A and B are shown apart, each in its own frame.
Chain A
Amino acid sequence: MSERLPILRIGGNLLVSIQADLDDQTVMNLQEDLAEHVVRHGARGVIIDITAAEIVDSFVGRMLSTIASISRLLDAETVVVGMRPAVAITLVELGLSLGGVRTALNLEQGLAILAERSSAGPAAR
């Protein structure tokens, strides 16, 4: 039973929360929905909150990298926030480095990263 996750807007950024028990189709839907929202709202940043995710496997990990790449092409930056320590340990052992994905410990720090980027102005992009 696939669903569509709510995508929230905070200022010029988009925020989505991932739960552990998403089925694969829901994960794929999110990828498409986020790309569409970035363009529709001219979002400059995307925050993916994985605080509630008890695991990140290769499927979700690949989705995080793909979302980061897609957003970058659409001139938005992605920050993944809230990774649990056990998840980080497991990801490294799995062999998934999430290269190209920015991370921050929590939502506040993620928003700070995005704010820094937008205040740097177009010349710095």
Chain B
Amino acid sequence: MTSPGLDPEGTRIQLIATSDDVVRARQLVRTLAVGCGLSLVDQTKLVTAASELARNTLSYGGGGTMSALPVERNGRRGVRLSFTDEGPGIPDIDLALRDGWSSGSGMGLGLSGARRLVDEFELRTVVDEGTTVTVVKWSR
């Protein structure tokens, strides 16, 4: 059975077009993190990372989507999140991932901090085409 926003493999899609959607994305991630048995601290880390990435998708990418999926590997469960936009892309990845660097008025902690808060982090970006950030947090 498939419901809206849920594909046959269990991926949930959350649109990120308003700051209310950032709130919804956090709530969805919390639900999945609890369901996958993440500890309270790991839930908090993943939801915080999701909040940072969703806000970047909204404010720099001009909006996009978050797809969220419970995953399993070697008997460990986890949550995988992908934040995708078709915005301007990131010209200098190293700079963007540096603590404290922001092209705007932010603190420049979102990307670099999110990377520290998760177990796996992948950033794909093409200038003028868009950005996808994928993260995974595993239960211990």
Report chain A residues within 8 Å CB of B43: 86
**A to B contact number (C-beta, < 8 Å):** 73
A94 contacts B44, CB within 8 Å?
A: no
Q: Which of B41, B106, B116 is in CB contact (< 8 Å) with A94?
A: B116
B117 contacts A23, CB within 8 Å?
A: no
B22 contacts A95, CB within 8 Å?
A: no
Q: Range of interface residues on chain A?
A: 20 to 34
Q: Which of B19, B40, B114, B116 is in CB contact (< 8 Å) with A23?
A: B19
A96 contacts B44, CB within 8 Å?
A: no
Q: Does B30 contact A (CB under 8 A)?
A: yes
Q: Does B80 contact A (CB under 8 A)?
A: no
Q: Shortest beta-carbon distance, A53 to chain B, in Å? A: 10
B116 contacts A93, CB within 8 Å?
A: yes
Q: Shortest beta-carbon distance, A50 to chain B, in Å? A: 13
A94 contacts B51, CB within 8 Å?
A: no
Q: Does B55 contact A (CB under 8 A)?
A: yes
A58 contacts B109, CB within 8 Å?
A: yes
Known A24-B19, A94-B109, A94-B116: A57·B45 in contact at CB below 8 Å: no
B22 contacts A86, CB within 8 Å?
A: no
Q: Shortest beta-carbon distance, A6 to chain B, in Å? A: 19
16 new A-B contacts, CB < 8 A, other than A86-B44, A96-B113, are A2-B19, A22-B23, A23-B22, A24-B19, A54-B44, A54-B47, A55-B51, A59-B55, A61-B107, A89-B41, A90-B117, A93-B116, A94-B116, A95-B99, A95-B109, A96-B109
Binding site for B on A (CB under 8 A): 1-2, 20-25, 54-59, 61-62, 84-87, 89-90, 93-96
